[in-house]
Amino acid sequence: MNKFIPLSIPNFEGNEKKYVNDALDQGWVSTGGAYITKLEQEMAKFLCTGNVAACQSGTSALHLSLIEADVIPGDVVLVPPLTFIAAVNPVKYQFATPVFIDCDDSFCMDPVKLRSFCETQCEFDGAHLKYQGKIVRALIVVHVFGNMADMDAIMSVAEEFNLKVIEDATEALGTYYTEGHYVGKYAGTIGDFGAFSFNGNKIITTGGGGAVTANNSKTVDHLRYLSTQAKNDPHYYIHDEIGYNFRMTNLQAALGVAQMEELPEFIRRKQSNYDLYKEQFADFELAELVSFREGTSSNKWFYSLELDKNRISATMREIITSLEKRGIQTRAIWGLINEQKPYKGEVTYNLEKAPYYASRILNIPSSTQITEEEIIYVADEVKQLLRCLADE
């Protein structure tokens, strides 16, 4: 196969050009216009939640959530080490201190270690949890690759210790519980706040862009207000709070409205393609396709292979570059955030599985346009390469 198979690219099969051209014809291209409102309404309807505010990015959605959660300089926020760095950077924007809690086998925050940290490393006075004299104000839980975190256990800890929960659902739009306490609840609608991303590689895209929701509709209204420079009076430009230029543009929203129309089909394809990959890697001795949490319906945004590093000595970079020569784009999971230069020296708690998975996970092509033929080719080439490397 001479064709290059990308890792994850956007899919514009629907009304994207029509709606964007309509926005252009109307002259509404910036942070006002009907498509922004329409996207917010469609997202709220899809997520079965009361209110959604469209914003500039998933990062800005997280930043607004931390502001609304009253995170201030000197506070502590509990965060994951195994995710994209944008999930943690907003903590620094607020001049707060991150503490890194290990993941479980879903790659999401481990609720057992979360509880252990709160019980053994902190003091709780009935109102505030404190770590080394600092208030632990919130936690950020990321639903990695569309895999739902154990929200039942995490929310139990948060409620017991009075912690605000910010769900980073930037990779998990459409993932929901099918059983248990939160049956029917979507990722991003369980905690106090939920952040979504529409970056180019996400399941739907607006080029950039994101959205934020909260468990209180009035809270979302305030988040929207903050995202538009906290403007009170459009004629005299009166501002009662420090605001931010975090509002989504109408052009982006026009793309988003079209993408929302296609989201159910995109999820169906992601799930179907995952099942085909599962068949291709069944009983393969050197790698296993990572599963998603039972009791949930995942959007299966990204597919992960856990490599047997005991038998494959090649570095992940060598594997990735070798597959690229075969026309297949792959990537390693992430470098651990606590090992990045801006975060060296920050507190970590009992990190075991995060470094384990960071050295073993290979992400493989997962675009909604990928064909059955391409999936079979990817699987065959990956298996052939890994067998060659294992035999060396």
User: Which residue segments constitute the domains of the chain, with CATH numbers given?
Assistant: 16-259 (3.40.640.10), 262-391 (3.90.1150.10)
* Whether the predicted pLDDT of 368 surpasses 80: yes
Where does the pLDDT of residue 391 fall: very low under 50, low under 70, confident under 90, or very high at 90 and above? low
User: Based on the number of CB atoms within 10 Å of its own CB, is 34 exposed (0-12), middle (13-18) or buried (19 or more)?
Assistant: middle
pLDDT score of 154: 98
Please name the amino acid found at residue 87.
A
* Whether the predicted pLDDT of 1 surpasses 70: no
H or E element that contains 139: strand 134-142
The four Cα atoms 348, 77, 162, 115 give a dihedral, to 10 degrees, of: -20
Pairwise CA distance, residues 367 & 365, whole Å: 6
- For the chain, the farthest-separated pair of C-alpha atoms sits apart, in whole angstroms, at 73
Please name the amino acid found at residue 387.
R
pLDDT score of 46: 98
Output the CA angle 366-44-39, nearest 5 degrees: 70
* Whether the predicted pLDDT of 2 surpasses 80: no
**67-71, 234-238, 245-249 — which is least confidently predicted?**
234-238
Q: Residue 359: which of 305, 278, 323 has the closest Cα? A: 305
pLDDT digits (tens, 9 = 90+) for 301-347: 999 999 999 999 999 999 999 999 999 999 999 999 999 999 999 99
Pairwise CA distance, residues 35 & 22, whole Å: 10
pLDDT digits (tens, 9 = 90+) for 29-57: 988 899 999 999 999 999 999 999 999 99
pLDDT score of 61: 98
Whose structure tokens read 């297949």?
328
pLDDT, mean of residues 165-184: 98
Q: Residue 82: which of 143, 137, 163, 131 has the closest Cα? A: 143
Pairwise CA distance, residues 139 & 117, whole Å: 12
Give yes or no for a contact between 40 and 54, defined as CB atoms under 8 angstroms apart. yes
What lies within 8 Å, CB to CB, of 319 at 6+ separation is 307, 312, 330, 362, 385, 386, 389
Give yes or no for a contact between 187 and 148, defined as CB atoms under 8 angstroms apart. yes
Pairwise CA distance, residues 64 & 362, whole Å: 32
* Whether the predicted pLDDT of 256 surpasses 90: yes
Q: pTM of the full predicted structure?
A: 0.96
pLDDT score of 3: 84
Pairwise CA distance, residues 197 & 187, whole Å: 13
Pairwise CA distance, residues 229 & 224, whole Å: 9
* Whether the predicted pLDDT of 372 surpasses 80: yes
